[in-house]
Amino acid sequence: MSATLGPIHYWMYNKIRLREELIASLVDLAKRQNYDEDPDGFPLESYARRELPPIEKALDLSQIHASLSGQIDGVERRYAKLITSLLRQDPARLASIRECVRAFGAAHPVSAANPTMAFQGINDVLLDGMPCDHAIQINEQAEDQVSFSLVEDLHGPFWEEEGGDRDIFYLLRGELVNAMLAVSGYRLYSDGDGSYHIAQVASLKS
């Protein structure tokens, strides 16, 4: 593994930063809505990492890959635990959580002239493990759509560890992606069994 920071490491660290920002947004939502201050015994603010250090200070530069993997695991686990804890107190909170996730996506819009650019834009934000995990497989890149599959569920285990529902993760992921894509005229469509495609919104097709 590389012992020198390169573009891919900064790219991955930015994905982590964005997930941290989403978690902080959810913590802020919980405070505004006067949810329990310590769901499942953990203070709300303990889930948030509002100030990330520069990557050079955040990672063990002698073990860059392992350090990044550890950061990803940490942010995935806190995301799953926070949402699961909030919903355990009151499942009706899902509506507000979905709205918060959509607002976060809208604040990070993806401009795209074609479906490949749309896919690249969301891939700059979504965390799917490390690149070497090959969690996503592109099946087709055509002029009118990009189709891909999640060949390994790297997220579900974190939710199951917390007694949560992995389907909630994918529901929120879809909300996030389509809010990000809203300005582009493209949309993420689920084809079932972990398969998806990105194509122009049907109403915009000629």
Domain ranges for the chain: 7-106, 115-204
The dihedral formed by the CA atoms of 25, 28, 30 and 32, expressed in degrees to the nearest 10: -130
Give tens-digit pLDDT for 62-101.
Answer: 999 999 999 999 999 999 999 999 999 999 999 999 999 9
Give tens-digit pLDDT for 150-174.
Answer: 999 999 999 999 999 999 999 999 9
The CATH code of domain 115-204 reads 3.90.1070.10
Q: Write the Ramachandran bin of 115: left for phi over 0, alpha for psi from -120 to 50, otherwise beta.
A: alpha
Longest dimension (CA), the chain: 54
pTM of the model: 0.93
* Helix residue spans in the chain (DSSP H): 7-32, 55-58, 64-89, 94-106, 115-123, 156-161, 166-181
The pair phi, psi for residue 68, each rounded to 5°, is -65, -40
Question: What is the residue whose two structure tokens read 């990044």?
Answer: 68
